[in-house]
A and B are shown apart, each in its own frame.
Chain A
Amino acid sequence: MSSSEIETILDAAASFKKSKAPKDLAGRFLAFLFSEPSTRTRTSFEVAARNLSAEVLGFSTASSSLLKGESLLDTIKNLEAMGVEYFVVRNEVSGVLEPLAGQTSASLINAGDGAHEHPTQALLDIFTLREKKGAIKGLKVVIVGDIAHSRVARSNIHGLTKLGAKVTVCGPRALVPSGIEKLGASVSHDLDNALQGADAVNVLRLQLERQEQNLVTSLPDYYQSFGLTPERLAKVPDCVVLHPGPMNRGVEISSEVADGPQSAILEQVANGVLVRMAVLSLIQQWRTHGR
């Protein structure tokens, strides 16, 4: 996605904030294909689609079989044959959409694939930041947490760097893959250092199973080094706090910070609907008029 495409989506989202939603998707079918549990992304997309008057169908696809990639394509082709034009796909496998894209004329919307990308989450993060800070260019943004397994981190790096922000990823070495700096982010393993001069910090959810894998030693140990505490945040009073949710309060973020004045977490959730409306509406325009 180019920077101008990102701006187009953000501007469209901003326009939905002011005006009444158009009936862009009236009479059109949108299906959810989610193989991972999701409350907010799924609901956010559904509200967005309904705001645009789409007909919404929900499915959960079978997970954890070797052939899931194949059956996903079969499912899409069958539903497409019934007239479904939009698929919102969430899958635990990185890159699962890529081989599917060339094999269907329906529009596939990535709602998170493995540790690869979660584009609409990054778009709503960036939208929220733009609202708060006026512009993205020149901002210093810290992404802290489980970078290795985070599609939110990758999509944010791509989007933010394209718009001219400086991105630092921060986390314990076991959760920051070597080579991630090639995507254009700098790497830190010291949150206090990384936060200096930060305009925003995006706190990633720590999956509790990382402890079983010895990727973190204990949750309190993690919180001590990488948790966003009131003390840490006090040193950067202008720093906006983001979190893609769902939060583990007391693990990666303190409740006080999550609910505090610097937090934009609920604004993110509200903006998510606008950004997803913008994505769906623009895809509809591109499908009918070309890009």
Chain B
Amino acid sequence: MGARLIIKGGLVVDPSQKLESARDLFIEDGRISKKFSPEGAEVFDAKGCWVVPGLVDMHVHLREPGREGEETIATGTAAAAAGGVTCVLAMPNTEPPVDNTALLGFLQAKARTEATVGVVFAAAATLGQKGEQLTEIRRLKDLGAGAISDDGRPIMDSELMRRALEHCRDAGLLLIDHAEDLNLSSGFAMNEGAASAAKGLRGAPWPAETVHVLRDIALCELTGAPVHIAHISCSQSVEAIRQAKRQGLPISAEAAPHHFTLIDADIPGYDANYKMNPPLRAKSDREAILEGLSDGTIDAIATDHAPHGLGKKALGLALAPCGVIGLETSLALSLQLVAKKIISRKRLVELMSCAPARLLGLKSKGSLKPGSDADVTLIDANAGWTVPTKFISKSSNSPFVGMKLKGRAKATIVAGRVVHAL
């Protein structure tokens, strides 16, 4: 008999079983178990908490290899644990990019010893993410790649995108596209609109995203391959995906907390902690994303956690690189949507756990059914806290510093082990 843990007295919320009721959760040998006798078992008090399948963040940059000064597998996954996230999809735009089995295998081995939470690595779609030659998609899949993506860069060549989708369909891997027409977005510092006009900065107009979303929908229909749109930001893209889903196409999308919380008009001065790609959009775009999260058009909440060092962000809005961190604030920002009754408790868990696990084909995650991995997040929805200036992440480039939030992860359990507890 192995290690036994009982999570006692919480409200179990598990959309995968259509479950929302007060009950105890049983864990044995790193898996969710049927009820067993409490004798000799460790008990974790979950009174006042929601007990949900561990959160899966399908868009995270761990910066390893190449930029270990800004984040590592160890620090990024520690930040994930603190945020209630039990599994992350690490994006392949590292230096060098994860475009071959040797590097993928090396990172997997490193994660096994250094990661606090589960890490699945996405592999690049093209060698060097240059948008020219496809990677060995099948062999990457066989080694355990979780998805294929040139994230950070769009696949501009539509013919190449078509072939990538065909190979992904053959391999049974999800292709995640960073939808951006680089000509339309050239030189942007923020969204194109009144705020960029006032600051005298180059803006990216919404079609920079939507043109590629519409292309991806067309290629999805042509190839029958699932396409996942990363970090969707514009109302027109949300509407395009809504229509495509109505046609029954295998298209999915994620939204980031910054896009459903902030708009371009919120950017104070030239503060680069508000700079990311795609940029913060208009009020109507934020509202469309909230609607998409609520009505099922948008499948998942993902952070696009993108650590950058202080020096780079000090360059200001025009020159600083894009990206903000998000692992430690994502759950709390999403809980605001539940508090405002924009989404239900169950929908939150669907968006942050069940759906991303399903999209990535992680069959033993995103559920608390007996036999599933014992990845569990305990949420105290009433805990008030202020986002600190210092994070567990190695970087602190967040626009939410100082914000007062309600709700956070009381405890994070990965494979039956408590990796974070308040």
Residues of A within 8 A of B (CB): 66-70, 73, 93-96, 98-99, 113-117, 148, 151, 154, 177-183
Contact = CB atoms under 8 A, between A and B. Distances in A.
Given A151-B200, A154-B198, A183-B197, A177 B192 contact: yes
Interface of B: 189, 192-201, 203, 269-270, 311, 314-319
9 contacts: A70-B315, A95-B269, A99-B314, A114-B200, A115-B200, A117-B200, A177-B196, A178-B193, A183-B197
B196 A93 contact: no
A116 B319 contact: no
The B interface is mostly helix, strand or loop, or mixed, namely: loop
A93 B198 contact: no
B193 A98 contact: no
B317 to A, nearest CB: 6
A95 B201 CA distance: 9
Contact of A179 (B198, B311, B316, B317): B198
Contacts of B193: 178-179
B203 to A, nearest CB: 8
B318 A96 contact: yes
Nearest to A91: B318
A68 B316 CA distance: 11
B200 A94 contact: yes
Contacts of B197: 148, 177-180, 182-183
Nearest to B203: A177
A66 B196 CA distance: 20
Contact of A93 (B192, B314, B319): B319
**Residue of A66, A95, A154, A182 most packed against chain B (CB within 10 A):** A95
B191 to A, nearest CB: 10
B199 A68 contact: no
B330 to A, nearest CB: 27
Contact of A116 (B192, B200, B203, B311): B200
Contacts of A73: 314
Given A69-B314, A69-B315, A99-B314, A94 B198 contact: no
A116 B201 CA distance: 7
Contacts of B201: 94-95, 114-116
B319 A98 contact: no
A94 to B, nearest CB: 4
B141 to A, nearest CB: 36
Contact of B319 (A68, A115, A151, A183): A68
A179 B318 contact: no
A115 B311 CA distance: 24
Nearest to A181: B194
A95 B198 contact: no
Contacts of A177: 192, 196-197, 203
Given A116-B199, A178-B192, A183-B197, A70 B314 contact: yes
Nearest to A73: B314
A99 B203 CA distance: 20
Nearest to B321: A66
B194 A179 contact: yes
A109 to B, nearest CB: 18
B175 to A, nearest CB: 31
Given A69-B315, A94-B270, A114-B201, 16 more contacts: A69-B314, A93-B316, A94-B200, A94-B318, A95-B269, A96-B316, A96-B318, A96-B319, A98-B316, A99-B316, A115-B201, A117-B200, A154-B200, A178-B193, A179-B194, A179-B196
Contacts of A117: 200
Contacts of B317: 94-95
B97 to A, nearest CB: 20
A89 B319 CA distance: 17
Most buried by B among A69, A181, A182: A69
Contacts of A179: 193-198
B319 A69 contact: yes
A42 B318 CA distance: 24
Contact of B315 (A99, A151, A182): A99
A154 B201 CA distance: 12
A95 B315 contact: no
Kindly name the residue among B192, B199, B203, B311 whose own CB sees the greatest number of chain A CB atoms within 10 A.
B199
A67 B123 CA distance: 30
A164 B311 CA distance: 41
Contacts of B194: 178-182
Contacts of A69: 314-316, 319
Q: Which 6 interchain pairs have the tightest Cβ spacing?
A: A179-B194, A95-B270, A115-B200, A116-B200, A177-B197, A182-B194
Contacts of A115: 200-201
Nearest to B205: A178
A114 B203 CA distance: 14
B113 to A, nearest CB: 35
Q: Which of B192, B196, B200, B315 has the most chain A CB within a 10 Å cutoff? A: B200
Nearest to B201: A94
A104 B110 CA distance: 44
